[in-house]
Structure 1
Amino acid sequence: MTTTETMHPSTSDTRAHQALALIAQHRMVTSTQLHQMLAPEAPTRKVYRVLTPLRAEGLIAHTVLGRNSGLQAHFLTPAGAQTVRDWPELRGRAPAVLTDAAASMRAAHTLTGVRAHLAFLTDARTRGDEYGALDWVPEIAHRLPDTGGEDRLIADAVFHYTATRPRRLQYRAFIEIDRTTMSSERLARKLISYARFHDYTPQPAGRHSTVADQNAMLAWQRFYPRFPRILFVLTGAPRPTLANRIEDLRRMTADHDLVTRLSAHVPLGAAILEDLETHGPQAPVWTPLAGTTEPRGWTQL
């Protein structure tokens, strides 16, 4: 037993350890979402038995979602962040510590991302694919070239997925969650940021670009064996509004040279969250952002 586990006995329990790791990874989860990730086959009350000692030991706190809903979203306290900071399953990521106010402000976006993750997780379990509750990593940041614009690309999430049939295939995807809280144009501009990252070759300090530099490693190749596909997940508005926003993404792909070039190498798609939850992400619910508008599963984009 580690020193940390001695200080916080609940984390020596396997299920409690897993729960705390999941809360740390996803920033914030509801009790129901945690139940779906941990043990959907077990009675719901078991997740409360896991959460109670974590709360009693001051490792997690919660915010109530809506005045009369009674729903709770759980997040790490400073003590919880200290406990998990060196856990290997968190891949060395610094755990986020939220105040009550910050948790309330971020809850809607964060929990919508978890909903999308659960759609992939549920489908993967049905198919026997290799995709676990920790294979969805939120808020991944990458540097962009210094062109006077944004200096960082922050993806809402990156996930790692291995399909096992009919043969083993590994997939990675950048995820963008759209709750219709930003303008459609601003959403579509995210594609430009991804295109800039796709083409970005960092230059050593003090050097100007030369022909020889063209053989230097692209920035993304330091992190990924292949550039991840880019998937937009939309919700929060009537279906016609969401369809218009998907069409705006397609128009950006067709009209912007950088994004058009990106689409020739990287699969791009968009889907409505409720369709993912109802039919599964392998169903033909994704609209490609380049070429045909024929819906398809996410691995067929």
Structure 2
Amino acid sequence: MVHEDAGGGDRLALAVVAQWQMATTEQMHLLIAPGVRIEQTRRRLAKLREEGLVDRVTLPQAGRTRCWFLTQYGTQIASEWPELRDWRPSRTVSDRTAARLRVGHALAVAQAGLAFVLDARQRADVCQPLDWIPEVHHPLGSGEAVIPDALLYYRHNTDTDGGGSMLRAFIEVDRGTMGPERLAAKLGAYARLHAYAPAPPPGTRPRLAVQEESWRRRYPLFPRLLFILDSTGSAGFKNRVEALNAATRQLPPAFLHNVPILATAMTELLQHGPAAHIWQPVTRLGYRASWMHTQHP
């Protein structure tokens, strides 16, 4: 069982491992307990492992980095928690073989998420560890779905009196494992999600049925779309952004008008932080913006 210690540390640690799917010891420490020594985080994770809730793989690189993931027992426990209502246990990595096969992409997504969480702390904004939700399922009908690498919730505080705005973003992290055209094709899926309204239930009288896009049940505004491009170098980044730009010419004007679409390199994200003017709107090549200040119309 998960111990309800004074600070809820065990529960938070297990919830973060569950929702983030995989994370290194250092990433977990920065997410759940940056104010204490990292040895305390190591002991906490070791205790959860002894209890059969998490397991780990050791990466064959300098420092023998340990990467943590949920076991089937940990999945069973965490799946009942209300704070993980958007989490999909069916997509959890629960054995070492699966963990080794997914570790590269999973840790890149976690690295991006950590950048947003740490930046929010420095800026007195609000982005808690559980405000980063990988692989949220958005159905498109006929068995199709849009599943972003992560969904981000971020509250940007604009003054000392608590004023601000809630920002949401779909995150796509590309490590250069697919060609530019395949990456750009993701824009079409998001455009379909933007327009998708489920058919009324059988037997519903058409004139009484309210046709509403499915995403409006979750979000007051369609989330921004942020592409984080990694492992491609400057030439690869340029090629991918140009492919995204070309793909926008085939998209519905309503989607382009209502949804900011931006891209940045992982290296710039980590060096300057996500709030910096490092984001390139894919419809306006050569221009740089802050993802927070690129407003919905």
TM over 0.5: yes
SS of the counterpart of 2:259?
A: coil
Superposed CA RMSD in Å reads 2.2
| Structure 1: gaps of 5 or more residues | 1-7
Note the alpha carbon deviations across 1:37-73, whole angstroms, 9 max, x for none: 0122322211111111111111111111126641111
- 2:19·2:134 contact (CA, 8 Å) conserved in 1? yes
Partner of 1:118: 114
Aligned: 1:43 with 2:37: yes
Aligned: 1:19 with 2:13: yes
CA distance change for structure 1 residues 209 and 28 in 2, over 3 Å: closer, same or farther? farther
CA distance change for structure 1 residues 11 and 58 in 2, over 3 Å: closer, same or farther? farther
Partner of 1:239: 234
- 2:28·2:41 contact (CA, 8 Å) conserved in 1? yes
TM-score relative to the length of structure 1: 0.89
SS of the counterpart of 1:159?
A: strand
Larger deviation, residues 78-87 vs 127-136: 78-87
CA distance change for structure 1 residues 53 and 125 in 2, over 3 Å: closer, same or farther? same
Residue identity matched to 1:244: N
Partner of 2:102: 106
Displacement of 1:87 after TM fit? 1.6
- 2:262·2:291 contact (CA, 8 Å) conserved in 1? yes
Displacement of 1:133 after TM fit? 0.6
Matches within 5 A, 1:1-301: 8=1, 10=3, 12=5, 14-66=8-60, 69-91=63-85, 93-95=87-89, 96-146=92-142, 151-166=144-159, 167-206=163-202, 216-253=211-248, 255-258=249-252, 260-291=253-284, 293-301=286-294
- 1:86·1:92 contact (CA, 8 Å) conserved in 2? no
Displacement of 1:229 after TM fit? 0.6
CA distance change for structure 1 residues 202 and 56 in 2, over 3 Å: closer, same or farther? same
CA distance change for structure 1 residues 92 and 244 in 2, over 3 Å: closer, same or farther? closer
| Structure 2: gaps of 5 or more residues | none
Looking at structure 1, the residues matched to 101 and 205 of structure 2 have their Cα atoms a distance apart, in angstroms, of 43
What fraction of aligned residue pairs are identical, expressed as a percent? Answer: 36
Displacement of 1:93 after TM fit? 3.0
Looking at structure 1, the residues matched to 175 and 289 of structure 2 have their Cα atoms a distance apart, in angstroms, of 22
Displacement of 1:205 after TM fit? 4.3
